[in-house]
Amino acid sequence: MTITLAFDVYGTLIDTHGVVIALEKHLGDKALDFSKTWREKQLEYSFRRGLMQNYKNFSVCTRHALDYTCSSFKTPLTQEDKETLLEVYKVLPAFDDAKEGLALAQQAGFRIFAFSNGSAEAVEILLTTAGIRDFFLGVVSVDTLKSFKPNPAVYSHFLRQAGATGAESWLISSNPFDVIGAVSAGMRGAWVQRSPDAIFDPWGIEPTSTVQSLTELTEKIRSTP
């Protein structure tokens, strides 16, 4: 059976810290720290909503996380400033290795899907703006299921939507929680460790493979029994 790849979008294909340039106008040299906190809270809010079964889509988590981060950094942005930043978040850039890595996977004959906490509409805009939408057979969003990664149900949802089995499917993500979630749900998982400082959660559940760049991914998958 042909191998199916589920690419996480935010933080794996798309650089969420691409918003830093826009933040520098308001925060100067604190922009990167602000961006990191915003991202951490965005994920935390999605986890909490998933556990509480109090679903709001990922854009709401992003907006609330921005409000929190402004308070945390004591940065009183106007509502107009916030809306501008949220618009930037809709058109973030792809990582430098994304296009080449996806092209290699496509040339290898893998079935390629985007699989995201974001809504299908938001992901379509992101991928199209970043110039990588044409690599994908489709976009699978957790929004249909009204939950978030790493709920095991969302990985089953992906497999149903992609018409794939867990044994022949790989989740590709730079987020350890996502890889652990996929492996726990019966898929294979490739962790994208772009920085040597990135740490994989020591849960005793390891990624099937680890790559430092998406350009290594196809060869790693081919060489995995």
In degrees rounded to 5, what are phi and psi of residue 224?
-90, 125
Q: Closest Cα to residue 136, out of 159, 175, 105?
A: 105
Secondary structure letter of residue 30 according to DSSP: G
Q: Which residue in this structure is represented by tokens 């993500």?
A: 173
- Taking each helix axis from N to C terminus, what angle separates 176-184 and 152-162, rounded to the nearest 10 degrees? 70
In degrees rounded to 5, what are phi and psi of residue 54?
-120, 70
Q: What are the residue numbers of the active site?
A: 8
Q: What angle do CA 161, 142, 47 make, to 5 degrees?
A: 145
Q: Closest Cα to residue 41, out of 4, 78, 71, 12?
A: 71
Q: In this structure, are residues 197 and 180 in contact, taking their beta carbons and an 8 Å threshold?
A: no
Q: For the stretch 1-13, what's the b/e string if a residue is b when 16 or more beta carbons lie within 10 angstroms of its beta carbon?
A: eebbbbbbbbbbb
Q: What angle do CA 157, 178, 217 make, to 5 degrees?
A: 100
The helix or strand, by DSSP H or E, that contains position 181, with its residue range, turns out to be helix 176-184
